[in-house]
Amino acid sequence: MRFEHETLPQRVHFAAGEARAAIRSEVARLAGSRVMVIAAPAEADLAKSVAADVPVVVHHDDVVMHVPVETAQRARRAADDHGVDVLLCVGGGSTTGLAKAVALTTGLPIVAVPTTYAGSEATGVWGLTQDGAKTTGVDPRVLPRAIIYDAALTLSLPVPLSVASGLNALAHCVDSMWAPHTDPLDQALALEGIRALAAGLPDVVADPAGLAGRERLLYGAYLSALAFSSAGSGLHHKICHVLGGRYDVPHAQTHAVVLPYVLAFNSPAVPDVEHRIADAFAADSALDGLQRLRRAVDAPTALRDHGLPEYAVEDAVPAILEAAPADNPRPVTGAAVRRLLRAAWEGSDPAVTGK
């Protein structure tokens, strides 16, 4: 066994009902006196409530999915105009992504308060979209200094979106098992993340107002992001970044749909990894375990249901081939990508992509 693994410097608060106190503590730790709160309109009231004890100079709600460059520029100007010294983001992946875009050019510290299971808060990965192309990178400036996980803040997240977001986190875990820089620690985190998410998703569906299932999802999302941050983007994420950037399809639902098709495609080439994923699902095979979970939670099943045009099945192929990792467990060919996209667009049996 031989590998190098970098652990990211970050504080994590995990406690239901304690977001407001934790935010106060972290802003004080950063000596923040001019806080910019970033939250989409749907989370504006929540953000004002949890930020009530810190010196806020501006509330910024211009949040757009996939973080268009123009949106990032407006947020950077707002931070500069108000002399901001701390960024506080409250919301999902798009909100965290916008805070990262500001930090990327300003170096301002971020305190992240996630209300979904996107996992962006635990990585140094940033993403910006321009002219139909999504560009991603890694920079230590965008890693939030602190994360505040409060399951009570996720109670208003509707069950269908909770399911899609949780499966997005699960995709981080699965991709991390064979991503370009994966190591044994990444895989251990990913497998524990799979177990937590596979337990938490049915709990949230059965009891949307309960905290136990939502805490499991936050825990699993954090583990998934730690694994993904180190392991890097595998084929699954490269496909979803192309689809999101070019066709503006919803992030979580796209990941939720594409996941079983990439799992079916890659897993036959790495049977040892496939067996470990299957064990994490307590199933006979990795794909069986994932599909059993997806049926139990009524997961999204077809990209056409979420706005992907049919012409994308062909149109996206060159960009995906260009982005695909060179060391993917199986060779990524044009024919394979077309077959995978067609099946995911239609919502047909994922097993066809493994043949």
Please compute the mean of the pLDDT values over residues 19-37 and round it to a whole number: 98
Residue 259: how many CA atoms within 13 Å on its side-chain side?
32
Burial 162-191 (b: 16+ CB within 10 A, else e): bbbbbbbbbbbbbbbbbbebbbebbbebbb
According to the model, what pLDDT value does residue 354 have? Answer: 75
Domain boundaries, the chain: 11-154, 159-354
What was the pLDDT predicted at 8?
A: 86
Q: Looking at residue 3, what is its pLDDT? A: 87
| Whether the predicted model's global pTM rises above the 0.85 cut | yes
pLDDT the model gives residue 6: 83
pLDDT, position 134? 83
Q: Is the pLDDT confidence value at 2 over 90?
A: no
Q: What is the pLDDT of residue 136?
A: 87
Across the range 44-57, mean pLDDT stands at: 97
pLDDT value for 131:
86
* Model confidence at 72: pLDDT above 90: yes
Q: Would the pLDDT of 355 be above 80?
A: no
Read off the pLDDT of residues 151-184 as tens digits, 9 standing for 90 and up. 999 999 999 999 999 999 999 999 999 999 999 9
The CATH class, in words, for 159-354 is mainly alpha
CATH architecture of 11-154: 3-Layer(aba) Sandwich (3.40)
Burial 286-315 (b: 16+ CB within 10 A, else e): bbebbbebbeebebbbebbebebeeebbee
Q: Which residues in 124-155 are b (16+ Cβ under 10 Å) and which e?
A: bbbbbbeeeebeeeeeebbbbbbbbbbbebbb
What is the pLDDT of the chain when averaged over all its residues?
A: 96
Cα–Cα distance measured from residue 152 to residue 147, given in angstroms and rounded to the nearest whole number: 15
> What is the rounded CA–CA span in Å between residue 312 and residue 306?
13
pLDDT for res 326: 93
What does the pLDDT look like over 200-250, one tens digit per residue? 999 999 999 999 999 999 999 999 999 999 999 999 999 999 999 899 999
pLDDT tens readout for residues 329-343: 999 999 999 999 999
The confidence score (pLDDT) of residue 39 equals 98
- pLDDT for 278 equals 98
Model pLDDT, residue 229: 92
